[in-house]
Structures are given as structure tokens and as C-alpha cells.
Amino acid sequence: MSRKQLDPSFDPYFPDHGDPRYRVHRYELVLDYRPGPNRLGGSARLSALAGPEVLREFALDLGEFRIGRVLVDGRAAHYAHRAGRLRVKPARPLAAGAAFTVEVHYNGNPRPVRSQWGGLGWEELTDGALAASQPIGAPSWFPCNDRPSDKASYLLSITTPSSYAVVTGGRLLTRTTRASATTWVYEQSAPTPSYLVGVAIAPLERVLLVDGGVVPQSGFVPSPLVEPFAADFARQPQMMRYFTDLFGPYPFDRYTVAVVDEELDVPVEAQGMAVFGRNHVDGVRGSERLVAHELAHQWFGNSVTVADWRHIWLNEGFAKYAEWAWSEHSGGLPARALAARAHAQLSLLPQDLVLADPGRKLMFDDRVYERGGLAVYALRWALGDAAFGAMLREWTAARRGGVVTTADFLAHAQRYGAVLELLEDWLFRPELPPLPRIR
């Protein structure tokens, strides 16, 4: 298996998403959503930079909406919109390296993006809506350059009936009510890929998770679930302190959990936010490992983001390991017991997955998560706790807000010990390596 690092602007798993000829550095979304008819409309203004060649046309990813107009640098542009792609031809070609803006006015009924995993992105709830976009669902609700390596800041203004809360990552700047509608304005200043812009719109009650720490934490929860939520997430502030010690400073200025009154197969991470279903709230901490998993993604996946989806183990392997680390730290089963259980289960499954490039069909296979966690666990025992901790903290600090590949991580880990052969066994060979012997 070659470890050749390809152009990070190219994603072989989703070659029809995104456009590497330009980069976006800011999105400004001004949207109005009506839950009853599931109607979304408004405008998106993208501030971008052309690549190293003259840009005569470019593409945005956008679902099945009606387009009102498209402007480039304030001038009407020619466009064609079909099959999820909005192709734009500016009135004048854009010079290489030029800064430019594109503004799209659109409206319609948002629908999930079809995929092998079902619908992705915008999802109508019984009462409200949810946008959870990993990996290619963002175009279901806003025009974007939908590739994980293109990270930008966001300003989101969303107006909806006043009985609904609007929850997204970032800092709430204003909340303004006029008549029966309320406009929520959020700023996400940290670099964010389009798939990590999440939003929940529903009748939710805010719950503060207070522990005197430096990271504000809150939940938005259906009223009947407030009491069990308080029990299930009571240890999240302790978790935040522990992960900060283990992984380094929390990379954002706050963390929000939204619980929707629907059953979700799994919780979903977004930048500065995670979304859980009512089935994850039972009042007895039955899903606490998932609380740890989603919180860990703020470091691994959100702040430090994969350059393309081949490297998804760098997201899911570290989040899985974080589940085991929290269990050990909080008095549950030790990491070695959870690793042994995962290894035993994997040994009974087909040995045909290459962790560093699992392929599009298998990128969300449970083996990516479990084997990824085992690779991190094996690295911990190869380096020892002190060097392992230093390696993690330097990784999240040096790569904060950036994009990474498996090759980047290999080069980084080797600075802390002779671990190349060990990692190559876990990452590039399909056969399951043995568990490390604990010293």
C-alpha cells in the first residue's frame, strides 16, 4: 500500500464535490426557515480567493433550490444549476490569486443529499429541522465549496418562528424578535469545513453545564428531557477538563450540545457542537461513551481536519480511543480491557480493510473506528504515557485549524519514538496486528 500523499485539494472518494480552483475564507448566510412547509430561503455571500490560474468559471455545490440571482463581485454572472452543481461564469474572468465575492440568492424546500448511507444534511423533524452534513450533506441547505480541506469562517443569520430555538456552533451575537419571528445571528470565527456547519431548529430549552471551567458549555434540550439530560451530561465538564489535560487546550471558545426529539442512529459532531437524539438520553449515563466520542472530535476532526476522506481514521480512531481513555479515567473499565474486547471482535471479522485508505464504501465501517482506536492505543504503549501525551498535545497545537493527512501524522509520531513499523502494520496492512504487550 503506497503512502504517497496526493494533492490535498483532491478527494478521490467524492471527486464530484468541491472545486479546487478556488478557496473560500468566509461564508455569510442570511436565511429564513419556515418549519411547517419546510421552506428555506435567503442568500449566501462567499468571500474567496482564486487559485494560481485565471478563473473563467467555477462551481459551487448546492441542492435542489430555485436560484434567484448570482452575483460575482456585485455583477450578474451566468450560471447553470443541475445535478447538485451550480456552475458560475463571471462577467469577467478572475485573475490568478484574485480575491472575489460570489452571492447566491435561492429558495425552496431543502432535501437531504442522496448517498449510500441514506439522506445526508438537512432533515425535517416532527417539529423543526436538523442539518448534520458529514460527509457531503452541506449542499442540502447552502451553496458551498464542499470539500473538507477548504475551511472558512462563518456568519449565520437564521430567522424562524419565535417558538423555535436555532442552535449552531460558534458564538451567539444577537437574538432579535420582531412580531412572531426571531432572528438568531451566530459567528464561527475558527476555520470550519462545510460538513461541520451544523444547525438544529426546534422547540428547545437551554441548560447550562457549569463547573467554573474556562470553556462555556450548554445544552439545548426538549423540555421533557431536561432532567435526564442533566444526569447524562453531568460529567461532561469533568470530561472537558480531562481531555484538555490529555489533548491540549480546547480549540474553540465554547461547546454546545443539542438534543432533538427524534431517535438518531448515532450522535453527530459539528464545529463547537454535537447533536444527540432522544434515544441517547436515559438519565443513567447510558450513552456517556458517545458523549466522550463527540467531545473528542472537537480536537480530532474539527480543529485538526482531514485533507480528504481517505484519512478518516484520524477523526474516528482518536475519538474511539477517547472513549476508552475516559472510561479508564472515570473509574470504568480500563483502556486495556476495552482494547482487548475490540481486538477480539475484530479478529472474527474479514481482514480486508486498510485503515489509512478504507475506500468510500467502508469509510464508516465499524472496523475503521475500532481498529483506529486500537492503532492509537498501540501507539500509546509503544511510546509510553509521557511521550504519548506530549505527542498528542503537540499534534493538536501545531495543526490547530489546519488540515492533515496520514503521512503528516506518521512524520509527527516518529519524532517521539521508533514507531513507523508499528503504525504501518496498523494503517497499511489489512491483517489485524496483535495487541501490544503491556510493560
pLDDT given for residue 214 in this prediction: 79
Q: Quick check: 360 pLDDT over 70?
A: yes
Between CA 389 and CA 323 the distance in angstroms is: 16
In a domain, 16, yes or no: no
Question: Are residues 281 and 410 located together in one domain of the fold?
Answer: no
For residue 144, give the DSSP letter: B
Between CA 389 and CA 395 the distance in angstroms is 10
Confidence at residue 212, expressed as pLDDT on a 0 to 100 scale: 65
Do 239 and 292 reside in the same domain of the chain? yes
Query: Could you tell me if residue 439 is inside a domain?
Result: no
Domain boundary among 241, 266, 296: 296
Are 76 and 140 members of one domain? Answer: yes
Domain stops at, among 175, 200, 225: 200
Residue whose entry in the numeric block shows the C-alpha cell 504487550? 437
Q: Residues 124-145: pLDDT tens digits? A: 999 999 999 999 999 999 999 9
- Considering the domain boundaries, does residue 254 fall inside one? yes
Calpha distance 348→136 (Å, rounded): 32
Residue 59 CA to residue 269 CA, distance in Å, equals 27
DSSP string, 383-398: H-HHHHHHHHHHHHHH
pLDDT for position 89: 98
pLDDT at 438: 62
Give a yes or no: residue 194 inside a domain.
yes
Q: How far is CA 183 from CA 125, 167, 173, 194, in A?
A: 20, 12, 11, 22
Half-sphere exposure of residue 292: CA atoms within 13 angstroms, side-chain side = 27
The total number of structural domains that make up the chain: 3
Question: Across all residues in the chain, what is the average pLDDT?
Answer: 95
270: in domain: yes
Residues 359-388: what's their mean pLDDT? 97
- Determine the 3-state secondary structure of 100 from DSSP: strand
Q: Is residue 437 part of a domain?
A: no
Residues 401 and 289 in one domain: no
Q: Strand pairing partners for 270?
A: 273
Judgement on whether residues 351 and 390 belong to the same structural domain of the protein = yes
Q: Which helix (H) or strand (E) holds 410?
A: helix 406-413
Residue 58 lies in a domain: yes
Instruction: Let me know whether 33 and 182 are in one domain.
Output: yes
pLDDT at 281: 97
Q: Identify whether 6 is part of a domain.
A: no
Q: What percent of the chain has pLDDT over 70?
A: 97
Q: Give yes or no: residues 311 and 273 share one domain.
A: no
Q: Mind giving me the DSSP string for 241-268? A: HHHHHHH-S-SSS-EEEEEESS--SS-E
Is the pLDDT score of 210 beyond 50? yes
Look at residue 385 in the predicted model and tell me its pLDDT: 95
Residue 5 has pLDDT above 80, yes or no: no
Residue pointed to by grid coordinates 517521539: 416
Same domain assignment for residues 226 and 151: no
pLDDT tens digits for range 152-167:
999 999 999 999 999 9
State CA 243 to chain mean position distance: 18
Cell readout for 58 is: 467555477
Amino acid identity at 377: Y
Q: Quick: pLDDT tens for 66-91.
A: 999 999 999 999 999 999 999 999 99
Task: Read off the pLDDT band of 34 (50, 70, 90).
Answer: very high
- Backbone dihedral angles phi then psi of residue 391, each to the nearest 5 degrees: -60, -45
Domain co-membership, 127 together with 141: yes
CATH of the domain at 372: 1.10.390.10
CATH number, position 153 = 2.60.40.1730
Q: Which three cell numbers stand for residue 208?
A: 447550562
Q: Which three cell numbers stand for residue 437?
A: 504487550
Hey, what's the cell of 275? 447533536
Which CATH number fits the domain that encloses residue 223?
A: 3.30.2010.30
Average pLDDT over residues 396-414: 98
Question: How confident is residue 4, by pLDDT bands cut at 50, 70 and 90?
Answer: very low
Q: If pLDDT is split at 50, 70 and 90, which confidence band does 437 have?
A: confident
Confidence at 10, pLDDT banded by 50, 70, 90: low
Look up the domain containing 218 and give its range. 205-296
pLDDT at 2: 34
Same domain, residue pair 273 and 369: no
Band the pLDDT of 1: cuts 50, 70, 90: very low
Q: Quick one: average pLDDT of 303-325?
A: 98
Domain end among 178, 200, 222: 200
Predicted confidence (pLDDT) per residue in 269-310, tens digit: 999 999 999 999 999 999 999 999 999 999 999 999 999 999
Mean pLDDT across the stretch 100-119?
A: 96
Same domain, 118 and 28: yes
Same domain assignment for residues 60 and 196: yes
